[in-house]
Amino acid sequence: MMLAESGAPAWSWNLLTDFQEMWSYPFMVNAFRAGAIVAVVAAVVGWFVVLRRQTFAAHTVSAVAFPGAAGALLLGVSAVYGYFTLCVAAALVIAALRGGGDHEESALTGTVQAFLLASGFLFTALYRGLLEGPQTILFGTFLGITSSQVTVLTVVGAVVLAALALLGRPLLFASVDPKVAAGRGVPVRALSVVFLVLLGAATAETSQITGTLLVFALMVIPAATAQVLTPRPALSLALAVLLAFAATWLGLTAAYYSPYPLGFFVTTIAFAGYLLALGWRSLREVLSRRAVATPAAREVTA
């Protein structure tokens, strides 16, 4: 249940006062800290996911976070361990069984996803104490984020970003043209496995904020939006981080003042940005065509 359901918080349109009120609660401070970490990590990993056209694999890894969290609660341990264990394990399974072409990879990831989702619902049914747990796991919440969770997110996020910084150049080369990269001696297969493991860790992080069903949105939509706006790698990566950060913080603010799930707001804000980017690109294309057509028309009439 969100705080807004009790009628306590009310938006005053005084941003300073509103943020001071939100940040007077330690759990909200933790939520914004965790949201910032998750936004940066998800955007950077998601940028490579979109570039490598591995969105279906990313969706599968995000979906299996649900049975991971439900299974951990069934065993009586923190859901955090379930997130990380099953997301990374699923990424390793997909990485180990890849290599049979796009059709076989799609069938493989879909099979893994279906089986693990069914397992998650079984774990939920077996754990009778999971009252509102399924909604929280699936759609996310900012309630109950502890300082220890923020610490874990910080450490894992730093490791993921450091690994991507180290592997960035060869991974970019292998993502754009894997055949040429392999011919130049780049270990394409090894990079793919490492990236999938990093994807699993990033997914486990993001799931704790957006929920397992909507982690895909925060990881893919800002990156896709950025790549619509500009083809420049460095600029689009920076834009993806900025867009993910904005969607997360605006979503946290909206969720604090309303009774609706956090994941809904994060996804809606990110999707609105994507639609605006598509509209802006279409407008630029129309204006560009008119600019080219106008001199040509003048020459014909002359």
Q: Is the residue at 235 inside a domain?
A: no
Q: Is the residue at 294 inside a domain?
A: no
Residue-wise pLDDT for 105-149, tens only, equals 567 667 777 787 788 878 877 776 544 555 666 656 666 677 887
* pLDDT beyond 60 at 185: yes
Residue 141's pLDDT is what?
64
Residue 208's pLDDT is what?
72
Number of domains into which the chain is organized: 1
Query: pLDDT: is 21 or 180 the higher one?
Result: 180
* pLDDT beyond 50 at 5: no
* pLDDT beyond 80 at 296: no
Q: Is the residue at 86 inside a domain?
A: yes
pLDDT band at 21 (very low <50, low <70, confident <90, very high): confident
Q: Is the residue at 100 inside a domain?
A: yes
Find the mean pLDDT for residues 201-219. Answer: 77
Burial class (CB in 10 A: 0-12, 13-18, 19+), 265: buried
Give the predicted TM-score (pTM) of the model.
0.80
Find the range with the poorest average confidence among 59-63, 114-118, 257-261, 295-299. 295-299
Q: Is the residue at 127 inside a domain?
A: yes
* pLDDT beyond 90 at 226: yes
CATH number of the CATH domain containing 181? 1.10.3470.10
Find the mean pLDDT for residues 159-186. Answer: 89
Query: pLDDT: is 171 or 260 the higher one?
Result: 171
Residue-wise pLDDT for 40-87, tens only, equals 999 999 999 998 888 877 877 877 788 888 888 788 777 778 888 888
Query: pLDDT: is 269 or 285 the higher one?
Result: 269
pLDDT band at 163 (very low <50, low <70, confident <90, very high): very high
Q: Is the residue at 272 inside a domain?
A: no
Residue 146's pLDDT is what?
78
Q: What is the mean pLDDT of the chain?
A: 80
Find the range with the poorest average confidence among 9-13, 208-212, 293-297. 293-297
Find the mean pLDDT for residues 164-168. Answer: 90
pLDDT band at 4 (very low <50, low <70, confident <90, very high): very low
Q: Is the residue at 279 inside a domain?
A: no
Residue 131's pLDDT is what?
44
Q: Is the residue at 74 inside a domain?
A: yes
Structural domain of residue 64, as residue ranges?
6-218
